[in-house]
Structure 1
Amino acid sequence: MEATRNEALEAWMDEHGYKSNSLAEAVNRALEQLTGRAGGLDGSSVRDWKAGRVKWPKSATRKALEAVTGLPATALGFVPRGRTLSAPAALQEDPGMKRRTLVAGIAAAAAAPGTSTRHIGMSDVERLQRRFAEVIASDHRYGGQVGIEQRAAALADEALNLQNAGSATQRVRSNLYACAASFRSSAMWAAIDGRRYSDAKTHMREAQALAEMSGDQAIKFRIWSHAGAMYRHIGRPGEAFAANDVARNLHITRRDPMFASLGLARQAAIHGAAQERAGTRRAFDQAQDALQRADPYDYRPVWLLAFYDEAELHSLALSAHLALGDYATAEFHAHRCLSTLRPHMRRSHAITTTRLAHAQLAQGDLEAATVTAMQVPADAATQHARVSRMLQEFGAALRARAPRSSTAQTWTEHTRDAWKATV
C-alpha cells in the first residue's frame, strides 16, 4: 500500500521556513537537551516523515519534535500505531488555499480535547527573567554553592516545559529558549565557581544548544566566555583562548564596547595563565579603553550589569599578574578593585581579598598578608570552594616561609577559632 504524504507536517514546515535539513538539526538539538545524547537525524529522516514512510516516530524523537514546533505529534499529521488516519475532506486545488486549510487544521488539532490550549506570552517570559535576577543576586552573595546550581538547572527545565504548555508566538519561544540558556549558564558558572568542573561541562553543552535555538547573542557570549574562564581555572589556556575567542568574535562585541571590554579583560587573564606578559598588558589596555567608550545608558542584560565594571576589570588583571608572578602589580590591581567594588559583590570581595593576601605574602610582607587574609569572612573561607582552597594554599605558603613565627601561629589560631563554628 502506498504511503500517504504527511501534508500537515509539510504545511507547518512551509509556514515556518524549515527545510528537511534545518528541521533535522533543530530536532537533534532538542533531543540532546532532552536525553543528554546528540540526535542522529538528517534530512532523509525528515523526508521519510513527509513522505509518510514513518507514521509515528520514536518516543524521544516525538518529544523533541514537539519541543521544536510547540504542537503535539498528532497535530503534525503523525498517526499513533494501531490507528488509521480518517479521510480528509476534499481540498481546493489552489495551492495557497490548500496550505492555509492545512495550517488551520493544525491549529484546530492543537486545540482539540486532550491537548493544551493555554497561551504562553511575554508575561511568562518576564516572570522567568525575574527569577533569573534572583539567581544572579544569590550568586554574587554566596557563589559556587550546589544549591544555586540546582536551582538554576531546575528553572532552566521550567522554561523548557513552557514550550509544551500551550501555544506561543515565535518571539515568545525564542525568549523561552534564551531564558533556559540563561539559567543553564548560571548553573554552569556555579559549578565552575565551586570547582565542580565535570558538572560545569554538562551544563555548558546544554546551555550552548539552548542558546543556538534562542538566537540570543548576549547569552551566547556569556556561555562561551564562561567556558573560557572554566578552561583557565583548570589550567588549559589553549582551550581557554579558543572558547573566549568564540565569545569575542560574536557581532555583539562590535555593537557594544562593554561586551568587547569583558571579552578582552578575560583574554588578559588567560594571557596571564599562559605566562604571556605582553599579551596581558595589551589586552588589559584594550579592555580599559573599550570600557571607557561604553555608553552607560545602553540596554544590557541583567547578568552583565550586575557584575562587570571597573572593579571586575581590575579583578581579572589581579588574577593575570598573580599568575605571572608580578606581585607588586597584582597588589595594585587588588587595591583598585576593592576601592570600587559594589557592596553586593560579597563573593568577589572575598576572592579579591584572598588574592591580595597572596600578593603581599609573595613580596615578603607576612604580617600585612596575614591581617588581610583574616579579613575574609568565615562563611566564604569555609563554604566557597575557590576561596577555601586559596586560603589553604596561603596557610601552607606562610608556614613554609616562617614555620615557627608568631605570624604563622596567629594564622593557625584564626583558622581554628574563627572558622570552626561555620564548618
Structure 2
Amino acid sequence: MAENKNGSLAAWMTAHAISAAELADAVNTAIASLTGRGGSTSERTVFRWLSGENRWPQERQRRALETVTGLPATALGFVPRGRSSSIPIPPPREDPADMKRRTLVTGGIAATVAAAPNASRVRRIGMSDIERLQRQFARVIASDHRHGGQRAIELRAAALADEALNLQNAGSATQRVRSRLYGAAAAFRSSAMWAAIDGRRYTDAITHMREAQALAELSGDQAIKFRIWSHAGTLYRHMGRPADAFAANDVARNLTITRQDPLFASLGLARQMAIHGLAQDTSGLRRAFDQAQAAMDRADADAYRPVWLTAFYDQAELHSLALSAHLAAGDHPAAEYHAHRCLAALRPHMVRSRAITTARLAHAQLAQGAPDVATTTAMQIPADAATRHPRVSRMLQEYSAALRAVSPNSPTVETWTDHTTTWRMTG
C-alpha cells in the first residue's frame, strides 16, 4: 500500500505545520460553517487519508478540506471514484463576504423567531457553547505562538468565526449570550487578521479587519474592540503607513478599557512607540516606552484579562516592541539592548517571538559592524521558523543581502551560505 500513500496531503500538512488532530478539528469546523451541522472527522480519519486507505473522502469532508487548504481535493492527492455523493451541501463558490453579511442579517431574525411561543422545541444556546468556543480560541492562540503567520491558522480562525455566527441561527439565547457569540466571532476573526498580518498577506488582513470591526460593534466588548484596532495599527505599521497606524492605534488607546486597566493602556503605548520608530521620532519613541513601562508597573497582576492578552503581553513583549522601534529609527545599540532584555524574559512557548527577536538582534549587530557576531546570532534561529514563517524568512533574506554588502567574499558569508543551504534542506 506504500505506493498509495497521499504524499500531497502530507506535504501540505508539513508545510503548514498542522497535525492530524488539528486538521481534523479544522475540517469539522469548516463542515459546521458550510452545513450548519458539526462534522465527525477524527485524527484516525486523517491518518486513513494519509495512508491512502481512503482515497476519496465524502463530499462534505472534501468541501471542508478545500475550504481549509484553499486547494481542490485532487491537488491534495485525492482520486475521484467516478460517482458523486448524494449528501446535500451549499454551493461551493459562494462569496464568503456575502455569507457573513447574510448571517449577520439573519441573526436578528433568528433571535425573534426563537423568542416566539412556538419555539419550545428550538435548541437553547447557552454559556456552555460560549465556553466551548473559548477553549477553541485558546487553542488558536497557542498554535499562533508556536507557528505564527500560517495560512492554516488564518483559515481555521476564520472558520471558527463562522461557527460562532452560525450559532446565532441555531436556537434561542439571551441577549447576553448573543453578545458573547458576536464577541467570540470577532475574536476569531481578529486572530485570522493577525495570522494574515504575520504572514504578510495584507490584503487578506484588511478583509478580516473589516469583518472583525463590524462584529466587535455588535458585541459591545471593549477588550476585543481594543484588540482589533490595535492590530489595525500594527497592520498599517507593517505596510509602512505611519499616519494610518497612529490613527488606528489612537482608537484603541481612547477606549474606556485603557482607563480601567493599565495593562491595556501599556500595550497601546507600546504599539504607539513602535509607530514612532517607523516615523523616525526618537523622542516620541523613548517617551512612549517610559509611559508604557509605568502603566505596566501599575497593572494589577491578579486582575482577570482575556487569554489573547495574557498569552503574549508582558515585559518581554514591551522590550520586543522597543527593539522594533529602535531598529526602524536606526538606533542600533538601543535595539540590541532591548533584544537581549526581550530574549531573557521570553516565556518558553513564545517560539515565533524568539525567532523574530533573534533575527532583529542579528540585524542590529550587523549594523554595528560585527558580521561574525551577527551571523552567529542568526544561525541560532530554528530551521522551521527560518523557512516557514514569512516574516522571519523575509528578515533573513534581508540579512543575507546586508551581510554580503558589508562583508563580500568573506569566510563569514561562506559560513552563512552553507548554513542557509542546510536550513532549506532540513526545513
Task: Report the Cα offset of residue 37 of structure 1.
Answer: 9.1
Query: Which position in structure 2 is the counterpart of 1:282?
Result: 287
CA distance in 2, matches of 1:377, 1:391: 12
Query: Which position in structure 2 is the counterpart of 1:68?
Result: 108
Query: Which position in structure 1 is the counterpart of 2:153?
Result: 148
Identity of aligned residues (%): 71
Write the letter of the residue equivalent to 1:135.
Answer: V
State yes or no: 1:241 paired with 2:281: no
CA distance in 1, matches of 2:257, 2:154: 27
State yes or no: 1:265 paired with 2:273: no
- 1:152-301 mapped onto 2 (5 Å cutoff): 152-301=157-306
CA distance in 2, matches of 1:109, 1:33: 32
Q: Contact 2:111 / 2:168 at 8 angstroms: preserved in 1?
A: no
Write the letter of the residue equivalent to 2:151.
Answer: V
- 1:345-356 mapped onto 2 (5 Å cutoff): 345-356=350-361
State yes or no: 1:367 paired with 2:376: no
Query: Which position in structure 2 is the counterpart of 1:46?
Result: none
CA distance in 2, matches of 1:366, 1:64: 55
CA distance in 2, matches of 1:411, 1:379: 17
Write the letter of the residue equivalent to 1:35.
Answer: D
User: Structure 2: which 5+ runs fail to align?
Assistant: 1-94
CA distance in 2, matches of 1:349, 1:402: 26
CA distance in 1, matches of 2:221, 2:422: 49
**Any idea what the Cα deviations from partners look like across 1:209-235, whole Å, max 9, x if unmatched?**
000000000000000000000000010
Query: Which position in structure 2 is the counterpart of 1:341?
Result: 346
**Any idea what the Cα deviations from partners look like across 1:3-28, whole Å, max 9, x if unmatched?**
xxxxxxxxxxxxxxxxxxxxxxxxxx
**Any idea what the Cα deviations from partners look like across 1:368-420, whole Å, max 9, x if unmatched?**
00000000010000100000000000010000111110001100010012332
Q: 1:107 aligns with which of 97, 104, 116?
A: 116
**Any idea what the Cα deviations from partners look like across 1:258-296, whole Å, max 9, x if unmatched?**
000000000000000000011000000000000000000
The alignment partner of 1:166 has SS state of: coil
Q: Contact 1:146 / 1:190 at 8 angstroms: preserved in 2?
A: yes
Write the letter of the residue equivalent to 2:339.
Answer: A
CA distance in 1, matches of 2:426, 2:338: 32
Write the letter of the residue equivalent to 2:302.
Answer: Y
The alignment partner of 1:119 has SS state of: coil
Task: Report the Cα offset of residue 69 of structure 1.
Answer: 4.4
Write the letter of the residue equivalent to 1:163.
Answer: Q
Query: Which position in structure 1 is the counterpart of 2:322?
Result: 317
Q: Contact 1:33 / 1:206 at 8 angstroms: preserved in 2?
A: no
CA distance in 2, matches of 1:375, 1:194: 21
CA distance in 2, matches of 1:208, 1:36: 17
The alignment partner of 1:398 has SS state of: helix
Write the letter of the residue equivalent to 2:358.
Answer: T
Q: Contact 1:71 / 1:110 at 8 angstroms: preserved in 2?
A: no
Task: Report the Cα offset of residue 68 of structure 1.
Answer: 2.0
CA distance in 2, matches of 1:119, 1:264: 42
CA distance in 1, matches of 2:333, 2:260: 35
CA distance in 2, matches of 1:135, 1:279: 34
* Alignment TM-score, normalising by the size of structure 2: 0.76
Write the letter of the residue equivalent to 2:107.
Answer: A
CA distance in 2, matches of 1:337, 1:364: 22
Q: Contact 2:242 / 2:278 at 8 angstroms: preserved in 1?
A: yes
Q: Contact 1:258 / 1:294 at 8 angstroms: preserved in 2?
A: yes
Task: Report the Cα offset of residue 108 of structure 1.
Answer: 1.8
Q: Contact 2:104 / 2:165 at 8 angstroms: preserved in 1?
A: no
Write the letter of the residue equivalent to 2:116.
Answer: A
Q: Contact 2:133 / 2:164 at 8 angstroms: preserved in 1?
A: yes
CA RMSD between the two structures: 1.6
Q: Contact 2:387 / 2:423 at 8 angstroms: preserved in 1?
A: no
Label 1:33 to 1:216 Cα distance change in 2 as closer, same or farther (>3 A): farther
CA distance in 2, matches of 1:132, 1:217: 18
The alignment partner of 2:312 has SS state of: coil
CA distance in 1, matches of 2:364, 2:206: 31
Point out the more displaced range, 412-421 or 229-238: 412-421
**Any idea what the Cα deviations from partners look like across 1:4-59, whole Å, max 9, x if unmatched?**
xxxxxxxxxxxxxxxxxxxxxxxxxxxx9962798xxxxxxxxxxxxxxxxxxxxx
Q: Contact 1:34 / 1:64 at 8 angstroms: preserved in 2?
A: no
Query: Which position in structure 2 is the counterpart of 1:80?
Result: none
Q: Contact 2:183 / 2:221 at 8 angstroms: preserved in 1?
A: yes
Q: Contact 2:100 / 2:162 at 8 angstroms: preserved in 1?
A: no
Label 1:37 to 1:140 Cα distance change in 2 as closer, same or farther (>3 A): closer
Q: 1:132 aligns with which of 112, 134, 137?
A: 137
CA distance in 1, matches of 2:118, 2:97: 24
CA distance in 2, matches of 1:266, 1:230: 11
Computing the radius of gyration from Cα coordinates, the structure with the larger value is 1
